[in-house]
Chains A and B, each alone.
Chain A
Amino acid sequence: MTSLPPPTTTNSNTHAAHARGATKIYGTGDSEVHALEHVDVAFERGRFTAIMGPSGSGKSTLMHCIAGLDSLTSGSVYIGDTDLSQLNDKSLTQLRRDKVGFIFQAFNLIPTLTAYENIVLPLTLGKKKGDETWINRVIDTINLRDRLTHRPSELSGGQQQRVAIARALASQPDIIFADEPTGNLDSKTGTEVLTFMRRAVSDLGQTIVMVTHDATAASYADRIVFLADGKVAGEMFQPTAQKVLDYLKHLGE
């Protein structure tokens, strides 16, 4: 049932981001934690990839490092052709602003800004206007046009996550990272958010990498990368919830 093909060769034409020999060590000496150990992984353009694995397996760490929020101990990560280790703080910030989108589990929005202001925040930060037709399309897709002038505190959790997704999409980034975006939502709202992410990939051609613990959520992806103890433990294409549960059971053995 499970397929474990050899690691794909990295090619920036087809890969929105990739990591080579990515190693992250926290602490020193006795308290040393190897959060990532020689991870090689690539994320294809126009694909929805999920990252799964037990708690503490290094999912968040991998995502933070690839997204340029954190730095590796050794190895390298690329967004497109850009080697992140070569960038200073300012260029990294600009890269995140222009090329990367983020959706976090919680606290995604700035409480003092309206929904619309939050959506266009990366654009305003970069003093860019953005593609208005695109932004309108995104807003229509998340179906929140009547809530644009509301503050985050006046929105439900699901609505807040949808605004966060719209923000991640608004600047048409090369890649979007989502860390347990549905972790705090009930299953109905979760489904709503996941459907929307799926459409962003299929209909709008976006690239999304999502960390999740939920097999059903993972089944929305085109491909799943499994992590265990800071290493890539396996891969699965065209997953279904059942396939994922089976695989996880096998991993646990």
Chain B
Amino acid sequence: MLKLALKMTWARKGRLVLTSMAIILGTGFLSGTFVFRDTINQTFDRLFADVFRDVDAYVRSTTFIELDFGGEQRAGIPISALDTVRQVEGVVSAAGDIQQFARVIGKDGTPLGSDGGGPPTFGGIATFETAGLWQIDEGRLPVGATEMMLDRATADNGEFVVGDTVRVVAAKGARQFTLVGIASYGDISSPGGSTFALFDQPTASEFLLEPGFVDAFLIAGDGSVSDEVLADRIDAALADDLKLETLTGAEITAEVQGQIKDVLNIFSTFLIVFSYIALGIGSFVIYNVFSITAAQRQRENALLRAIGANRRQVSRAMLVEGTLMGVVGSLLGFAVGIALSQLLNALLKATGFEVPTTGLAIKPGSLVNTLIAGVSVTVLAAWLPARRAGRVPPLAALRDTALDSAGNLKRRVSIGLVLVALGAVAMVAASNDAPIQVLGLGVLGVFAGVLVLGPAIARPVALALGTPVAALRGVSGTMARQNAARNPKRTSRTAAPVLLGVALVTAFTALAVSIRSEIRDTFGDAFSGDFALTVDSQGSGGIPLSLTDQIAGLDGVAQATGVGFTSVRIVDPNDTTLDPSASMRGNFVQTINPDTIDGLFDIGVVEGTLSSLGRDGILVEQDRATERGWKIGTRLQVIRIDGAVIDAEVRGLVSGDTSFANYVASREMFADAPTPIFDSFVYIKAAEGAVLDDVEARIAAISSDAGIGTLQSKEGFIDAQAAQINQILGLIYGLLGLSIIIAIVGIVITLLLSVFERRREIGLLRAVGMTRAQVRTTVRWESVITSLLGAVTGVVLGIVMGVVVVAALADDGGLTFRLPVTGTITIVVISFILGVVAAIYPAWRATKVNVVEAISTT
């Protein structure tokens, strides 16, 4: 029987190819992201191994704060300790290292590198010491307060040559330097699209950090002892009260590699999740193809049963076929994935994230994962049709037409309705404060219910959608309408990928549109100034505080205030329940200037006052305060990045609607910190009677002189805040893009199988006078009706889910549902086009049906 199954599979190579296409697509995305991730990881592994090649030991501060996104921020260390290190036996070279915010201003006055969001921009130290990370590519090392180097890529991008004057913005403001040399980092000119401005150590410390401080020491040994021994000797030599630790070269290499991977993995995990969703949607296509081919082979299977094959044998033959296809499809998908990963790389390059890759990393693990995912999805998708095939009565061999049976509609409707109802109940429960997981279960339930209901609603909806088509396109339209409705199971399965994609996108768009208008409202109320100067780099650099003060002093400016962000640790000395390992975890704190913010920007104080903030006061977001049992007067410890512990007191609560962090503190709290804080927003109000355009021009002059910040009008600022949600929408549309591709492939495959199945009918139509153009029209409109069926049901489902999700998230009634009108219209138009595009090839195939052959086959 196995031999027979294999032989039967081989006899239908065409279908094999079609089914495999669906599997290839699904697994292709998956393996593509695997290979992409591994390639990048491998690249960075090699890069840092190369960069730290000469580093045998690494000294840094033990005081640090873990940041929210997996990174950490460490306190600086005094450069004076470097002499102690140099005296240690076995050390041949030691140098300070700095990696802090610095932005290079291009020759046209605009900063190089993106304004936040993109790869970070750094300032650092260039040194002759062998332990240093940089090599001289051209020119010489900078000496003194007016000289600098650039990394090769930045110099090339900005068209800088040795001898040029370069403006750089860093913690201490904007300055000019003479470019005396160009450096390279390991094997490549600059890693990951970051820019580097390099100075001698005293200049770097003073300009980027704090005079006399660096971030770390890099040490090279003479090779007389192992790195471990060397690190131990250095550790012993350094005074304990400096709070320093020494790592070996291997340790710091592994750590940096790990950190980069953590950051990259957030991105690739996201991609992989998307790929699994794509594979899930693709499994509908696979399931559909198996169902259709099983129906088309009903006679053949019945014949097998009639001549004595038992149910198990028939089912198993189909499962063997499914497994085979799963293996072949996944293997091909893996190959496609390798190509896709290259495409992803090219795409990233085009958007400015140059990821250097040194050769493809194809790991056996990725192949195994792809195979497991692909084969299990395929076998699962083949399972039901295979069981159904086994149940075919031998008598069916004598019946002529072999279509999917309509199934038990009543049972289907009841099961579907029960699932939808359960899902709806869960969703409503979620909107009444049940945990968010319940909402997820509810969404799943509704989806499953709608998919079960699909075949029952496909026929009436397809007929309704087809009515105008039939009216407009005459007999071709009528036939298209009937064809779309004649096999409701098949039509609904074909439309399922469209439905899923459209429903998800509609729901998220509805949510985003609602959030966006919510943001507009709150910011419109909170911000009463005329302009805002913003940078989009929260936590890492930004607008120097001196710039904010400079703007406040401008002619025609009545008031200007800055808002920034930094990380601290917040410790509640009375809370003993906290897990000590979590005590290193950092918290975002929003820094404000309480003297100038009043009347310009309302950060939503619901209890207490701003004016009482001072150096040791803190405001807490009200939910966080309730959660931790804090109220006004609670004493907390705020631990800064430099390790300074500030005994602070809760002086008020904020609503959280217009503050961007859970904690708010005065900029005074950080005035004496060695790591400077920056502003991310500067809100500005023009003086009474001042000409707005003039004021704007003056602020613009200052900010462009400093080479930092985007100046926006009040309206522009509010728009920009609301538009932040668009980034998330962009990701969701990426999901739509994937499901579109899968949906198109699904429709193409189904149509091809239908055309094959109906070749006699098409032959007959051609014989009695249907032209090729009319045949094409029929196939095209069937495709459009199918696609619109998915889109319309998807939109309805998406809107319903949007309403419920918005209601669930609007705990205090602030968020109200808004219908995404343009979004919905766009989706329907896209689905229409999708139908037309998917029909092109099957329609062409339909016109190629040989009339004589078609009418001669019995």
| Chain A residues in the interface with B (C-beta under 8 A) | 60, 64, 67, 69-70, 89-90, 93-94, 96-98, 102, 104-113, 117, 121-122, 124-127, 167
Inter-subunit contact B769/A112 (CB<8 Å): no
| Chain A residues near B858 (CB-CB < 8 A) | 105-106
Inter-subunit contact B852/A125 (CB<8 Å): no
Inter-subunit contact A104/B768 (CB<8 Å): no
Nearest 7 A-B pairs (CB), nearest first? A97-B769, A112-B482, A124-B475, A122-B769, A70-B852, A93-B771, A125-B769
Which residues of chain B in 458-488 are interfacial with respect to chain A, using CB atoms and an 8 Å cutoff?
474-475, 478-479, 482-483, 486
Inter-subunit contact A112/B855 (CB<8 Å): no
Inter-subunit contact A121/B768 (CB<8 Å): yes
Q: Which of A106, A110, A117, A121 has the most CB of B within 10 A?
A: A110
Inter-subunit contact B772/A89 (CB<8 Å): yes
| Chain A residues near B475 (CB-CB < 8 A) | 117, 121, 124-125
Q: Which of B401, B761, B852 makes the CB contact (< 8 A) with A110?
A: B761
Which residues of chain B in 87-133 are interfacial with respect to chain A, using CB atoms and an 8 Å cutoff?
none
| Chain A residues near B855 (CB-CB < 8 A) | 69, 104, 107
| Chain B residues near A70 (CB-CB < 8 A) | 851-852
The distance in angstroms between the C-alpha atoms of A96 and B771, with both chains bound, is: 10
The distance in angstroms between the C-alpha atoms of A109 and B764, with both chains bound, is: 8
Inter-subunit contact A125/B479 (CB<8 Å): no
Inter-subunit contact B770/A125 (CB<8 Å): yes
Inter-subunit contact A110/B764 (CB<8 Å): yes
Chain B residue nearest in CB terms to A67? B767
Interface size on B, residues (CB 8 A): 25
Inter-subunit contact B770/A69 (CB<8 Å): no
The distance from the CB of A209 to the nearest CB of chain B, in whole angstroms, is 15
Inter-subunit contact B767/A102 (CB<8 Å): yes
Inter-subunit contact A93/B766 (CB<8 Å): yes
Interface assignment of B760: CB less than 8 Å from any CB of chain A: yes
Q: Which of B761, B768, B774 makes the CB contact (< 8 A) with A102?
A: B768
Interface assignment of B765: CB less than 8 Å from any CB of chain A: yes
The distance from the CB of B692 to the nearest CB of chain A, in whole angstroms, is 66
21 contacts between A and B (CB under 8 A): A64-B852, A69-B852, A69-B855, A90-B772, A93-B766, A93-B770, A93-B772, A96-B767, A97-B769, A102-B767, A104-B764, A107-B760, A107-B761, A109-B764, A110-B765, A111-B401, A112-B479, A125-B475, A125-B771, A125-B774, A127-B474
The distance in angstroms between the C-alpha atoms of A39 and B695, with both chains bound, is: 98
> Interface readout for B738-771 with A: 1 if CB under 8 Å, 0 if not?
0000000000000000000000110011111111
Interface assignment of B856: CB less than 8 Å from any CB of chain A: yes
Contacts known (A60-B856, A117-B478); A108 close to B764, Cβ less than 8 A: yes
Q: Which of B486, B768, B771 makes the CB contact (< 8 A) with A112?
A: B486
The distance in angstroms between the C-alpha atoms of A182 and B761, with both chains bound, is: 20
The distance in angstroms between the C-alpha atoms of A110 and B486, with both chains bound, is: 12
Chain A residue nearest in CB terms to B772? A89
The distance from the CB of A244 to the nearest CB of chain B, in whole angstroms, is 25
Inter-subunit contact A97/B479 (CB<8 Å): no
Chain B residue nearest in CB terms to A106? B858
The distance in angstroms between the C-alpha atoms of A98 and B769, with both chains bound, is: 8
The distance from the CB of B459 to the nearest CB of chain A, in whole angstroms, is 12
The distance in angstroms between the C-alpha atoms of A110 and B476, with both chains bound, is: 12
The distance in angstroms between the C-alpha atoms of A113 and B475, with both chains bound, is: 10
| Chain A residues near B479 (CB-CB < 8 A) | 110, 112-113
Which residues of chain B in 827-858 are interfacial with respect to chain A, using CB atoms and an 8 Å cutoff?
851-852, 855-856, 858
The distance in angstroms between the C-alpha atoms of A122 and B768, with both chains bound, is: 6
Chain B residue nearest in CB terms to A96? B769
The distance in angstroms between the C-alpha atoms of A108 and B851, with both chains bound, is: 13
Inter-subunit contact A113/B482 (CB<8 Å): yes
The distance in angstroms between the C-alpha atoms of A111 and B764, with both chains bound, is: 11
The distance from the CB of A87 to the nearest CB of chain B, in whole angstroms, is 13
Chain B residue nearest in CB terms to A98? B769
| Chain A residues near B852 (CB-CB < 8 A) | 64, 69-70
The distance from the CB of A152 to the nearest CB of chain B, in whole angstroms, is 11
Q: Which of B483, B768, B851 has the most CB of A within 10 A?
A: B768
| Chain B residues near A127 (CB-CB < 8 A) | 474
| Chain B residues near A126 (CB-CB < 8 A) | 769
The distance in angstroms between the C-alpha atoms of A136 and B851, with both chains bound, is: 30
| Chain A residues near B856 (CB-CB < 8 A) | 60
Chain B residue nearest in CB terms to A118? B768
| Chain B residues near A64 (CB-CB < 8 A) | 852
Chain A residue nearest in CB terms to B853? A70
Chain A residue nearest in CB terms to B403? A111
The distance from the CB of B465 to the nearest CB of chain A, in whole angstroms, is 16
Inter-subunit contact A93/B769 (CB<8 Å): yes
The distance from the CB of B565 to the nearest CB of chain A, in whole angstroms, is 65
Chain B residue nearest in CB terms to A105? B858
| Chain B residues near A125 (CB-CB < 8 A) | 475, 765, 768-771, 774
The distance in angstroms between the C-alpha atoms of A110 and B856, with both chains bound, is: 16
| Chain A residues near B764 (CB-CB < 8 A) | 104, 107-110
The distance in angstroms between the C-alpha atoms of A110 and B770, with both chains bound, is: 12
Chain B residue nearest in CB terms to A108? B764
| Chain A residues near B851 (CB-CB < 8 A) | 69-70
| Chain B residues near A106 (CB-CB < 8 A) | 858
Chain A residue nearest in CB terms to B485? A112
Chain B residue nearest in CB terms to A153? B401
The distance in angstroms between the C-alpha atoms of A106 and B768, with both chains bound, is: 14
| Chain A residues near B772 (CB-CB < 8 A) | 89-90, 93
Given known contacts A93-B766, A105-B858, A127-B474, what 15 new A-B pairs fall within 8 Å (CB)?
A: A60-B856, A64-B852, A67-B767, A69-B852, A70-B852, A93-B769, A94-B769, A96-B769, A107-B761, A107-B764, A110-B761, A111-B486, A112-B479, A112-B486, A117-B475
Q: Which of A89, A98, A121 has the most CB of B within 10 A?
A: A121
The distance in angstroms between the C-alpha atoms of A37 and B856, with both chains bound, is: 21
The distance from the CB of B614 to the nearest CB of chain A, in whole angstroms, is 81
The distance from the CB of A155 to the nearest CB of chain B, in whole angstroms, is 14
The distance in angstroms between the C-alpha atoms of A107 and B758, with both chains bound, is: 11
The distance from the CB of B536 to the nearest CB of chain A, in whole angstroms, is 58
The distance from the CB of B375 to the nearest CB of chain A, in whole angstroms, is 38
> Interface readout for B780-798 with A: 1 if CB under 8 Å, 0 if not?
0000000000000000000
The distance in angstroms between the C-alpha atoms of A36 and B141, with both chains bound, is: 94
The distance from the CB of A15 to the nearest CB of chain B, in whole angstroms, is 22
| Chain A residues near B771 (CB-CB < 8 A) | 90, 93-94, 125
The distance in angstroms between the C-alpha atoms of A109 and B767, with both chains bound, is: 12
Inter-subunit contact B478/A97 (CB<8 Å): no
The distance in angstroms between the C-alpha atoms of A140 and B414, with both chains bound, is: 46
Q: Which of B761, B769, B770, B774 has the most CB of A within 10 A?
A: B769
The distance in angstroms between the C-alpha atoms of A126 and B474, with both chains bound, is: 10
The distance in angstroms between the C-alpha atoms of A112 and B774, with both chains bound, is: 16
The distance from the CB of A111 to the nearest CB of chain B, in whole angstroms, is 7
| Chain A residues near B760 (CB-CB < 8 A) | 107
The distance in angstroms between the C-alpha atoms of A89 and B772, with both chains bound, is: 9
Chain B residue nearest in CB terms to A89? B772
The distance from the CB of A176 to the nearest CB of chain B, in whole angstroms, is 11
The distance from the CB of B463 to the nearest CB of chain A, in whole angstroms, is 11
Inter-subunit contact A167/B768 (CB<8 Å): yes
The distance from the CB of A10 to the nearest CB of chain B, in whole angstroms, is 25
The distance from the CB of B598 to the nearest CB of chain A, in whole angstroms, is 74
The distance in angstroms between the C-alpha atoms of A214 and B805, with both chains bound, is: 73
The distance in angstroms between the C-alpha atoms of A108 and B486, with both chains bound, is: 18
Chain B residue nearest in CB terms to A60? B856
| Chain B residues near A104 (CB-CB < 8 A) | 764, 855
The distance in angstroms between the C-alpha atoms of A207 and B44, with both chains bound, is: 84
The distance in angstroms between the C-alpha atoms of A64 and B764, with both chains bound, is: 13
The distance in angstroms between the C-alpha atoms of A167 and B475, with both chains bound, is: 15
The distance from the CB of A216 to the nearest CB of chain B, in whole angstroms, is 23
| Chain B residues near A112 (CB-CB < 8 A) | 479, 482-483, 486
| Chain B residues near A67 (CB-CB < 8 A) | 767
The distance in angstroms between the C-alpha atoms of A125 and B858, with both chains bound, is: 25
Q: Which of B474, B768, B774 makes the CB contact (< 8 A) with A96?
A: B768
| Chain B residues near A122 (CB-CB < 8 A) | 768-769
The distance from the CB of B579 to the nearest CB of chain A, in whole angstroms, is 68
The distance in angstroms between the C-alpha atoms of A97 and B770, with both chains bound, is: 7
Q: Which of B474, B766, B855 has the most CB of A within 10 A?
A: B855
